[in-house]
Amino acid sequence: MNLVLLEPRERGGPLPAADVRTRHVLEVLRRGVGDRFDAGIVDGPRGVATISALDAAGLHFRFEPTVEPPPLAAITLIVATPRPATAKDVLRDATTLGVCAIHFVHAERCTPSYATASLWTAEAVGEQLRLGAAQAFDTRLPVVTWGRPLAAALAEVATNMPVVALDNYEATVALGALRPPAPITLAFGPERGWGPRDREQLRAAGATLAHLGSRVLRLETAVTAAVAIVAAGS
């Protein structure tokens, strides 16, 4: 936790004694009354918090904003809904990398039960986003949606930016060779790959199929690699 993230309503404190952020400040950072720690307001300024008191109510502090973080990268992700543990990794790591939006969608070969997992609540998703932003020393969180079909997400993004779909089977060009700049949407299929209907929808939306080389990667690894390639070329 490189940055203690605060919701706007928490700006005046205190943080409860049992809160994971309080424990981090006291036990990991080893801060006490009068000490300072890096903090930020979700989707707001980054700054410094000074501990003013510790009592039964929790950790009292004064927050002083110092800088507004830059905007997120103009990189949108469409991800065929994976198993919950993988989805958590994607949410956290894509936020750390600074993408601006992540859309989890129903695709032809998705496992239906993944879409009804307990992860898919605003609170549970938000927890992963905050972990990713705190790691990146940033306050900006991407927009996240889930539960829509692939076609609906494509209809939303394809009119505003190019779409590149990662595909191990039918792509004939490497993403690195394309070096596509942002703004862009990167689309990732399920564990069993895009189905025929998915590819029809992707091509109808003008998507280019690209690959990341001959090696088969885990979804979370493919997301990290693809975003890094695009960010390096932008």
- Span of 104-108, 180-184, 199-203 with lowest mean pLDDT: 180-184
CATH topology of domain 4-67: Ribosomal Protein L25; Chain P (2.40.240)
Q: Inform me whether the pLDDT recorded for 233 exceeds 80.
A: no
Residues 131 and 210: their CA atoms lie apart, in Å, by 30
Q: How confident is the model at residue 182 (pLDDT cuts 50, 70, 90)?
A: confident
Which residues 6+ apart lie within 8 Å of 101 measured at CB?
Answer: 76, 77, 142, 143, 144, 145
Q: How confident is the model at residue 234 (pLDDT cuts 50, 70, 90)?
A: low
What does the domain layout of the chain look like in residue ranges? 4-67, 73-233
CATH number of 73-233: 3.40.1280.10
Q: How confident is the model at residue 69 (pLDDT cuts 50, 70, 90)?
A: very high
Q: What's the predicted TM-score (pTM) here?
A: 0.94
Which residues 6+ apart lie within 8 Å of 65 measured at CB?
Answer: 41, 44, 45, 46, 47
Residue that the structure tokens 């750390």 belong to: 96
Residues 26 and 35: their CA atoms lie apart, in Å, by 10
Comparing CA positions, the residue from 100, 95, 84 lying closest to residue 3 is 95
Q: Which helix (H) or strand (E) holds 188?
A: strand 184-188
Yes or no: say if 96 and 136 are a contact pair by the CB < 8 Å rule: yes
pLDDT digits (tens, 9 = 90+) for 3-45: 999 999 998 889 999 999 999 999 999 999 999 999 999 999 9
